[in-house]
């Protein structure tokens, strides 16, 4: 126990003292803050192009639809040129499109749209232009054409033009809220989506970064041959345990620092967001989903167990090989286990209660990421959480048992990377 503490202390202090740790700890929340703030900043800032009206309208409807669209569009961006209206016969559309394409290529317009019989029928319109991939621009153009068409139809039915304008001016945004078994939660559905995503991603990052740093640490002890001096004083198992716990505490330290800084940034979110040009109302709507204490404990347990599981495996990989060239290759199976969870994150985010999600949140190697993710999205019965925790604990125990044996033999073994069969013999021999 005393010796494990000595190993633990060295591991912790040497890592915390490193420059990398300092940089990552400070830059982490800044980065996190940016990815939280940017979507909001973008959402409130994202206007359609200020040249939206600088387009060519090819009108083959033979009606006044073209000029209606022209007027509405011109109103959206008063400082930009007014749309050029080109009324053509249906059979000349192709030629008109060719000309319009040349104009766009020559920077005389941003794009062109085609209004024809299909448009009048309410089925489709076509738009081609430099901003054709800007969803918000296309969305706006669609909306304007739709409203113009609607106005045209209503007027034909004999409704007064000024009334039409008033009636069709509908701007509707959906404000979403999430309902769980416990009732409504204050935060929006999007927020808890990002929260779940964020937690799983942070867990993944911590496990991948610190797990691999243990692997490199073990390899360093091997390549510098300091391992033999150390194991003449302390048993390999104790050494491995001390290393895992030391690095684990470094990870916890880092996350705690991140949380503290994130909390401070959240408190000061108004002024910060204003710097990004986000109005106060939007920043008030940014809420961190509340985490119940028990959920917090479960999250911590998942993190600790998941970290130990992967750290033990990475430690064994570090002891298996003797040089930097082999280590990445040897780590591939462990990385694959971890990345599998990451790959399934997207489908599970979209559908957190299907069978795939359930299976993934019970497997020891994916549960530490998947269960917290699902817990953030939907309400999970307590017995599923406890069951998943037990499953991870069992997986953890097996990983430690295997790793300790590989570690014991591998630490003083130099030469080429062992094959699976040799590895099996190591496990037997230890």
Partner 1 sequence: MSEPAVRISNVTKRFDATVAVRDLSLVVPTGSVYGLLGPNGAGKTTTIRMMLDIIGPDSGTISIFGRPHLDPSVLDKIGYLPEERGLYKKMQVRRVLRFLAELKGVPPKEADKRINRWLDRLGLITDEKDWGNAKIDELSRGMQQKVQFIGTLVHEPDLVILDEPFSGLDPINSQALKDTVLELKRDGKTVIFSTHLMDNAERLCDSVCIIAHGEKVLDGEVAAVKESRGTRSVALSIDGDARDGVRGVLQDRRLVARADDQNRFFEIELATGADPQELLNRLIASGARIRRFELVSPSLHQIFLERVGAQGVELGMSGHA
Interacting residues toward partner 1 by CB under 8 A: 2-3, 6-7, 9-10, 13-14, 220-221, 223-226, 228-234, 412, 425
Angle between helices 367-377 and 324-343 (to 10 degrees): 30
- From the number of C-beta atoms within 10 Å of its C-beta (0-12, 13-18, 19+), residue 98 rates as exposed
Contacts of 21 (CB under 8 A, 6+ apart): 15, 250, 254
Of the CA atoms within 13 Å of residue 418, those in its CB half-sphere come to 22
Contact 380, 371 (CB under 8 A): yes
Smallest Cα–Cα separation from 340: which of 310, 360, 313?
Answer: 360
Distance between CA atoms of residues 96 and 128, nearest Å:
13
Neighbours of 264 (CB within 10 A): 11
Distance between CA atoms of residues 321 and 330, nearest Å:
8
Q: Which is nearer to partner 1, 142 or 220 (CB)?
A: 220
Beta strands of 144-290 (E only): which ranges? 178-180, 183-185
Beta strands of 164-210 (E only): which ranges? 178-180, 183-185
| CA distance between the termini of the chain | 22
Distance between CA atoms of residues 76 and 49, nearest Å:
10
Q: Which is nearer to partner 1, 10 or 126 (CB)?
A: 10
């Amino acid at each position: 126990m005393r010796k494990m503490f000595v190993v633990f202390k060295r591991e912790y202090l040497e890592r915390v003292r490193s420059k990398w740790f300092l940089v990552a700890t400070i830059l982490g929340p800044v980065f996190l803050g940016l990815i939280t703030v940017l979507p909001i900043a973008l959402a409130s800032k994202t206007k359609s192009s200020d040249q939206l009206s600088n387009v060519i309208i090819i009108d083959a409807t033979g009606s006044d639809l073209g000029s209606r669209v022209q007027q509405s569009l011109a109103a959206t961006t008063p400082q930009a040129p007014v749309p050029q209206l080109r009324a053509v016969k249906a059979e000349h559309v192709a030629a008109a499109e060719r000309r319009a394409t040349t104009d766009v290529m020559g920077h005389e317009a941003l794009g062109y749209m085609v209004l024809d019989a299909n448009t009048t029928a309410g089925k489709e319109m076509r738009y081609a232009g430099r901003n054709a991939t800007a969803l918000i621009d296309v969305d706006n153009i669609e909306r304007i054409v739709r409203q113009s068409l609607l106005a045209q139809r209503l007027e034909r039915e004999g409704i007064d033009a000024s009334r039409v304008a008033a009636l069709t001016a509908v701007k509707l945004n959906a404000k979403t809220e999430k309902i769980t078994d416990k009732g409504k939660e204050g935060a929006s559905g999007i927020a808890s989506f990002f929260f779940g995503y964020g937690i799983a991603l942070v867990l993944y990052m911590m496990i991948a970064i610190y797990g691999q740093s243990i692997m490199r640490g073990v390899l360093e002890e091997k390549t510098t041959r300091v391992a033999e001096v150390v194991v003449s004083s302390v048993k390999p198992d104790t050494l491995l345990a001390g290393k895992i716990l030391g690095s684990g505490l470094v990870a916890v330290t880092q996350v705690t620092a991140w949380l503290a800084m994130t909390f401070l940034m959240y408190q000061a979110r108004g002024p910060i967001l204003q710097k990004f040009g986000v109005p106060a109302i939007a920043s008030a709507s940014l809420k961190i989903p509340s985490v119940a204490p028990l959920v917090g404990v479960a999250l911590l347990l998942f993190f600790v167990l998941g970290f130990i599981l992967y750290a033990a495996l990475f430690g064994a990989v570090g002891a298996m090989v003797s040089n930097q060239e082999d280590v990445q290759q040897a780590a591939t199976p462990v990385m694959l286990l971890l990345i599998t969870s990451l790959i399934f994150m997207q489908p599970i985010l979209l559908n957190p209660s299907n069978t795939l999600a359930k299976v993934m949140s019970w497997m020891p190697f994916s549960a530490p990421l998947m269960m917290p993710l699902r817990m953030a999205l939907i309400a999970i019965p307590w017995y599923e959480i406890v069951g998943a925790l037990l499953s991870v604990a069992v997986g953890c125990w097996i990983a430690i048992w295997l790793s300790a044996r590989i570690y014991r033999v591998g630490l003083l073994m130099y030469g080429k990377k062992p094959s699976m069969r040799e590895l099996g013999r190591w496990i037997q021999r230890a």
